[in-house]
Amino acid sequence: MDGDAEQRIDLTLRLWRGGSKRQFERYITRLLKLADHQDGRAERRAAEVEGGPGRPDAVLVLSFPDTAAVDAYLTDPRRDDLEELAAKAVKRSLITGGRKHDASEHGPVEVTDLPLEST
């Protein structure tokens, strides 16, 4: 690996749908736009994860340049604007993170290019 490679910090968001698919997708889109404000980017997305009861309906992996950007994302006051939509669209959410990776492992992905992986 290149010693000058940009290090990124991943957050993994697991989301369980509580409302309509349309509300759920709108909520995810707004989360991704919020991440973009903090130099976050969507690395991967899986939707409709199969495997039995209790599996999330979507898994997002976001990356940020440093812990300050992660903290800014998690405490951004614009998240308050999402509360009403979240109450309708999401039954449960779980955020885990902290894994660092080199940005050179794979290139950035535009949100519109993220495939919905339904296996």
Coil, strand, or helix at residue 45? strand
pLDDT for position 117: 39
Query: Does residue 103 have a pLDDT over 60?
Result: no
Tell me how far apart the 2 most distant CA atoms of the chain are, in Å. 46
pLDDT for position 13: 93
Total Cβ atoms within 10 A of residue 97:
17
26-73 tens-digit pLDDT: 999 999 999 999 999 999 888 666 656 678 999 999 999 999 999 999
7-31 tens-digit pLDDT: 899 999 999 999 899 999 999 999 9
Task: Domain ranges for the chain, please list them.
Answer: 7-113
pLDDT for position 55: 86
Compute the average pLDDT of residues 93-119. 56
Compute the average pLDDT of residues 82-103. 83
CATH number of 7-113: 3.30.70.100
Compute the average pLDDT of residues 72-89. 92
For residues 61 and 44, the answer to whether their CB atoms sit within 8 Å is: yes
Query: Does residue 93 have a pLDDT over 80?
Result: yes
Q: What is the pTM of this model?
A: 0.74
For residues 60 and 13, the answer to whether their CB atoms sit within 8 Å is: yes
